């Protein structure tokens, strides 16, 4: 148990929680679990995110507590906070417009994360575990340590559902390399709180619209192979979203189709958005996708990483990314 963080929680009242741009199941699940814990202690807490919550994760936010950050509306809450938790990212760039307010706030900045690239001087307290497959798993251990020390169970059923979602999604439904026996032991315990795995899976993955399937068809038709079939990529343009009635969150999971190709060791989903181009990298074995992501001001794990290039031309950037990828393919 991190005694310093427990002390900060016990001795303060005003809390802000945030996570990275384009939140995923791990970030949303971790935020909700920690928020519920703080509220159960009688604390005042707000979740402020740069990006809206993807539709397939709104089931976790049953009370609609996650707010999309608005500078005029919310900057005062950050300025007046006692503690700010930054979850599932250790890069201020990835919280976008919240970053300058967080840095200027008098609040203690607490990081809970599992990604590479951590700079401890940027935070007052932290729990970092780059061996953990998810931030949700780190929070689970944190809560269990508190339960053991206090003799009182702190995880509730809604918290367990959020943590299960965080772990399940960030392990690729328990299929990624870093999924180990401890992960399965933890999820087994979370299931004891009454979670129904099919219901959670269905909320996340079985909510496709006809538009999303049309978008997937375009994505699959656009697959290009390079370097003897070792690299696969496909682009999604803004017009694809407009013509199928979808948005950029609809592409979640598309990289799985690229990775299913037998010869592929590196897959790249290249997405054109209103603000720039999003790059999503997935790899197999020793191919370091995170090192490739760093070349474009991104980051992540060895086999799962990403980057965002503001204002980029998608065709020009694609050429640079594919050229840069060659040295990482083994």
Q: DSSP states of 143-205 as a string?
A: HHHHHHHHTS----HHHHHHHHHHHHHHTTTTTSTT--HHHHHHHHHHHTTT--HHHHHHHHH
**Helix %, strand %, coil % for the chain, to 5?**
45, 20, 35
Residue 152: pLDDT band with limits 50, 70, 90: very high
Residue 249: pLDDT band with limits 50, 70, 90: confident
For residue 300, the model assigns a pLDDT of: 84
> DSSP 3-state assignment of 305?
strand
Backbone φ and ψ for 87, nearest 5 degrees, come out as -115, 140
The CATH fold of domain 210-328: Diaminopimelate Epimerase; Chain A, domain 1 (3.10.310)
Indicate whether 46 pLDDT > 90. Answer: yes
User: What are the pLDDT digits (tens) for 123-135?
Assistant: 999 999 999 999 9
- For residues 143-158, give the mean pLDDT: 97
Indicate whether 38 pLDDT > 80. Answer: yes
User: What are the pLDDT digits (tens) for 55-90?
Assistant: 999 999 999 999 999 999 999 999 999 999 999 999
Rounded Cα distance between 93 and 320, Å, is: 22
- For residues 130-153, give the mean pLDDT: 97
The CATH fold of domain 3-204: inorganic pyrophosphatase (n-terminal core) (3.90.1640)
Indicate whether 22 pLDDT > 90. Answer: no
Comparison of pLDDT for 330 and 191, the residue scoring more: 191
User: What are the pLDDT digits (tens) for 289-329?
Assistant: 999 999 999 888 899 999 999 999 999 999 999 999 999 99
Residues spanned by CATH 3.90.1640.10 within the chain? 3-204
List the structure tokens of 214.
């049309």
Q: Which residues pair with 68 in a beta bridge?
A: 49
Rounded Cα distance between 214 and 19, Å, is: 30
Rounded Cα distance between 175 and 182, Å, is: 14
The pTM for the full model equals 0.91
User: What are the pLDDT digits (tens) for 173-217?
Assistant: 998 888 999 999 999 999 999 999 999 999 999 989 999 999 999
Residues spanned by CATH 3.10.310.30 within the chain? 210-328
Indicate whether 165 pLDDT > 90. Answer: yes
For residue 229, the model assigns a pLDDT of: 98
For residue 7, the model assigns a pLDDT of: 97
Indicate whether 1 pLDDT > 80. Answer: no
Indicate whether 116 pLDDT > 90. Answer: no
- For residues 96-112, give the mean pLDDT: 97
For residue 103, the model assigns a pLDDT of: 97
């Amino acid at each position: 148990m991190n005694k310093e963080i427990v002390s900060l929680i016990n001795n303060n009242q005003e809390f802000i929680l945030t996570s990275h741009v384009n939140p995923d199941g791990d970030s949303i699940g971790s935020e909700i679990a920690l928020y519920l814990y703080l509220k159960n202690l009688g604390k005042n807490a707000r979740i402020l995110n740069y990006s809206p919550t993807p539709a397939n994760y709104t089931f976790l936010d049953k009370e609609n507590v996650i707010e999309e950050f608005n500078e005029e509306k919310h900057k005062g809450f950050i300025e007046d906070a006692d503690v700010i938790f930054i979850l599932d990212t250790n890069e201020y760039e990835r919280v976008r417009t919240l970053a300058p307010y967080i840095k200027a706030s008098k609040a203690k900045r607490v990081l809970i994360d599992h990604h590479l690239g951590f700079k401890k001087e940027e935070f007052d307290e932290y729990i970092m575990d780059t061996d953990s497959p998810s931030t949700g798993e780190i929070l689970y251990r944190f809560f269990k340590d508190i339960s053991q020390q206090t003799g009182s169970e702190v995880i509730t059923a809604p918290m367990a559902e959020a943590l299960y979602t965080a772990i399940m999604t960030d392990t690729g439904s328990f299929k990624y390399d870093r999924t180990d026996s401890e992960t399965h032991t933890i999820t087994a315990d979370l299931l004891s709180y009454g979670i129904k795995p099919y219901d959670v899976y269905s909320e996340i993955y079985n909510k496709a619209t006809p538009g999303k399937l049309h978008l997937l068809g375009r994505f699959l038709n656009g697959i290009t192979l390079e370097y003897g079939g070792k690299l696969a990529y496909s682009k999604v343009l803004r017009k694809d979203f407009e013509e199928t009635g979808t948005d950029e969150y609809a592409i979640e999971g598309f990289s799985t189709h690229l990775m299913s190709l037998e010869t592929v060791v590196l897959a790249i989903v290249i997405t054109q958005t209103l603000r720039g181009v999003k790059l999503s990298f997935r790899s197999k074995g020793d191919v370091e996708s995170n090192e490739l992501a760093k070349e474009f001001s991104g980051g992540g794990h060895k086999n799962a990483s990403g980057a965002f290039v503001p204002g980029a031309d998608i065709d020009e950037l694609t050429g640079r990314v594919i050229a840069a990828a060659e040295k990482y393919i083994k």
